[in-house]
Amino acid sequence: MEKRLAVCNLCEAICGLELTIDDGRVAGVRGNPEDPLSRGHICPKGVAIGDVHADPDRLRRPVRRDRATGAWTEIGWDEAFDLVADGFARVVNEHGRDALGIYLGNPNVHSLGSMTHGTALVKALRTPNTFSATSVDQLPHQLVAYLMFGHQLMLPIPDIDRTSYFLVLGGNPMASNGSLMTVPDFPARLRELKARGGRMVVFDPRRTETAKVASEHHFLRPGSDPWVLLAMVRQLFVDGVATAPSYGVGLAAVEEAVAPFTPELAEQHSGVPAAAIVRVVRELAAADCGVAYGRIGVSTAAFGSVCQWAINLLNLLTGNLDREGGAMLTSPAIDVVGTGLVGRGGHGRRHSRVRGLPETSSELPVAALREEIETPGEGQIRALLTLSGNPVLSTPDGGGLDRALEGLEFMAAVDIYLNETTRHADVVLPPTTALERDHYDLIFHALAVRNTARFTPAVFPKERDTRHDWQIYRELALRVTDRIRPRRPLADRLKLRLRMSVSPTRMVQLLLARGDGPTLTQLRRKPEGVDLGPLRPGQLPGRLRSKERRIDLAPELVLKDLARLGDVAPPQDDELLLIGRRHKQDCNSWMHNTERLTKGRPRHQLLMHPDDLAARGLADGATVTVASRVGSVEVDVLATDDMMRGVVSLPHGYGHAKDGTRLGVARGVPGVSINDLTDPERLDVSGNAALSGVPVTVR
């Protein structure tokens, strides 16, 4: 038996773990109490992290699919790399660079090697057709940060450890452990907030785990947040308390733009009493310090960017931006913004071929992937590379995408499992897993509620004849660029080889040396992590990346979208709207291979208010058909008054392939995919899919 420190990469909370290792296996997992950020926190998923390493169904060597029989065979690495490089080069040499599409999934951000080498691979493949899970997630945040602060990753983080008023819309940190707010041990931090006399107020169409521990919860109709938020911003002007710092421009334009959005109009749209909306914003403005925060429920909505803009304004105009207990920029040891590791972002510099949708942050909306594959003509996507993603379950009209993938001339995937998406690939290349890799978190330290730094060396040695993700990316980049005609100049190719051969750990060492924080050697001596203190106020305007270091309070793009908002009629009473949900024991569309997480009470059901069931003559537990414009599914229904009337909920990430017979196919659990119902036509201006609030019928 041996103790080893590790880090959990399964969600944004980046908890420090202490593992007990017995005979090369994880025999026990607990949260590391010495970790200055996670302070001993762990959740059920973290406990299961060893199961991924030990899972016999996980892929360890490349597999190839025989298109005629559908049979999978294990092949050698060299052969696999050649097959993939030949497959892509064939399509690109015949049809051009845009014939290759790329999709990057969520675990890319949770792997150091993907962060350091993934972008380089994507750049080397030089296709305009790149997509990612970002456009079913946080693209509105990035667009608004780019427009207001001049950089897509300048995301102000709630100072939850010091705030006295925490306003939450569309987030469920009790289940998700926080997002764009790395906040391990949310339950304890919330208890501390309340013990200080602080309050948490939640707006959510479901009485969630978070709503249940809130000081106050308001049901609101899905998609109606923009009216509520704009009424709140408007109220600050009405009350004469709206103030902007000297480096903010456009305050008068904001006042004029929000004027039509009264609390009464917000009530009509949301169902929240106008008086409650006014009271909450007055409390936020009057609190010693307070912070507004919005997540998936408001990001994945038709007006996600308007919502994120309004949330930034609430913090700004109440004086809570860049102040203790409000929302602040973090000061990470490796500043991905300052070092230029991540670009500034942008919008509308090019457009998708079929629907003419603008890019944001250099990527196209993944909601357009299917049509780009299926619509013939110049620029059609004929080959696809997916990197740790499962868009068949995670993007709108996933069922349609499922069928479209069969029409590709060639597909390759980098993934540790055969799943609903990667089963369409010709070749799957599996990398090593988290416990076999060194880790420094380039992204989530930069989004955390406290400044810390931590380097975690690999717990297990790499198994024989396996590859790290960065090594796979390196080989792909080199072999594909070598085969594409016209060939890039030798000097270019040598530079790429050099760049791709620097290991992720070495890059971290170099990046740390450029900053004024700890060095890699110092971090190696403190594997539990180094505390760099609470978030620091007074970062603005110095760190702004915008023109003349000004904050654009009234970005034109967002103001224009207010006109579209003004055209939306209040909802009809008989309409049912579908929302998603996350559970503590689920991890997006995967991790269902571990029994530790799937056992217990079923949780795949459609949640529905008893009155809505009764109105349709349906009984609790019945199998119902849920239908939207896009598709229909059959699923068990569970009555609960935790749902707002008129709103139903399915979990996201379900609908697994049931035939566990194929090589390495992840085991199925009951349930259907919510994204067989979501609609690729419903988009925010950023191109983010409006997954929440889909009109459905239930019978």
Residues that bind Mo ion (CB under 5 A): 137
Dist CA 312 CA 317 (whole Å) = 9
List the single partner that 60 binds among Mo ion, ligand SF4, ligand MGD, none, CB under 5 to 8 Å by kind. none
Query: Smallest distance from the beta carbon of 213 to ligand MGD, in angstroms?
Result: 13
Is there binding between residue 211 and ligand SF4 (CB under 6 A)? no
List the single partner that 46 binds among ligand MGD, Mo ion, ligand SF4, none, CB under 5 to 8 Å by kind. ligand SF4
Dist CA 677 CA 696 (whole Å) = 8
Q: Among 43-51, 276-284, 457-465, 688-696, which window interacts with ligand SF4 (CB under 6 A)?
A: 43-51
Amino acid letter, residue 639: A
Dist CA 171 CA 155 (whole Å) = 16
Which of 326/693 has CB closer to Mo ion?
693
Candidates 589, 594, 605, 686: give the one binding ligand MGD (CB under 6 A). Answer: 589
Nearest to residue 296, comparing CAs of 286, 308, 314, 287?
A: 308
Dist CA 156 CA 316 (whole Å) = 10
Which of 223/389 has CB closer to Mo ion?
389
Dist CA 685 CA 358 (whole Å) = 9
List the single partner that 678 binds among ligand SF4, Mo ion, ligand MGD, none, CB under 5 to 8 Å by kind. ligand MGD
Question: By CB neighbour count within 10 A (0-12 exposed, 13-18 middle, 19+ buried), where does 363 fall?
Answer: buried
List the single partner that 99 binds among ligand MGD, Mo ion, ligand SF4, none, CB under 5 to 8 Å by kind. none
Give alpha helix (H) positions in 182-317.
186-195, 209-212, 225-238, 251-258, 263-270, 274-286, 296-299, 304-317
Q: Among 233-241, 339-347, 522-530, 577-585, which window interacts with ligand MGD (CB under 6 A)?
A: 577-585
* Subset of 156-195 contacting ligand SF4 (CB under 6 A): 177, 184
Which of 5/102 has CB closer to ligand SF4?
5
**What does 671-696 look like in DSSP terms, one character per residue?**
---GGGTS-TT-B-TTS-B--SSEEE
Task: Report strand pairing: 63-65 vs 606-608.
Answer: unpaired
* Subset of 316-335 contacting ligand MGD (CB under 6 A): none
Dist CA 282 CA 247 (whole Å) = 24
Dist CA 671 CA 540 (whole Å) = 47
Residue 595 CB neighbour total at 10 angstroms: 12
Candidates 390, 509, 546, 598: give the one binding ligand MGD (CB under 6 A). Answer: 390
CA dihedral 312, 316, 319, 322 (to 10 degrees): 70
Query: Smallest distance from the beta carbon of 102 to ligand MGD, in angstroms?
Result: 13
Is there binding between residue 130 and ligand SF4 (CB under 6 A)? no
Is there binding between residue 43 and ligand SF4 (CB under 6 A)? yes
Is there binding between residue 301 and ligand MGD (CB under 6 A)? yes
Is there binding between residue 297 and ligand MGD (CB under 6 A)? yes
* Phi and psi based region of residue 40 (left: phi greater than 0; alpha: psi -120 to 50; beta: remaining): left
Candidates 55, 475, 586, 684: give the one binding ligand MGD (CB under 6 A). Answer: 586
Dist CA 342 CA 571 (whole Å) = 40
Dist CA 588 CA 337 (whole Å) = 27
- Residue recorded with tokens 């380039």: 442
Candidates 130, 163, 179, 546: give the one binding ligand MGD (CB under 6 A). Answer: 179
In eight-state DSSP terms, residue 541 is T
Candidates 417, 440, 444, 470: give the one binding ligand MGD (CB under 6 A). Answer: 417
Is there binding between residue 688 and ligand MGD (CB under 6 A)? no
Which of 206/550 has CB closer to ligand MGD?
206
CA dihedral 433, 435, 437, 440 (to 10 degrees): 120
Is there binding between residue 582 and ligand MGD (CB under 6 A)? yes
Candidates 415, 426, 528, 612: give the one binding ligand MGD (CB under 6 A). Answer: 415
Candidates 45, 117, 423, 581: give the one binding ligand SF4 (CB under 6 A). Answer: 45
Residue 251 CB neighbour total at 10 angstroms: 17
Candidates 5, 21, 42, 52: give the one binding ligand SF4 (CB under 6 A). Answer: 42
Find the length of the chain: 699
* Subset of 15-34 contacting ligand SF4 (CB under 6 A): 15
Applying CB under 6 A, the residues found at the interface with ligand MGD are: 11-12, 105-107, 111, 133, 136-137, 169-173, 175-177, 179, 203-206, 208, 220, 222-223, 225, 295-298, 301, 388-391, 394, 414-417, 419, 431, 433, 469, 579-584, 586-590, 652-653, 674-675, 678, 691-693
Applying CB under 6 A, the residues found at the interface with ligand SF4 are: 8, 10-11, 13-15, 42-43, 45-46, 177, 184
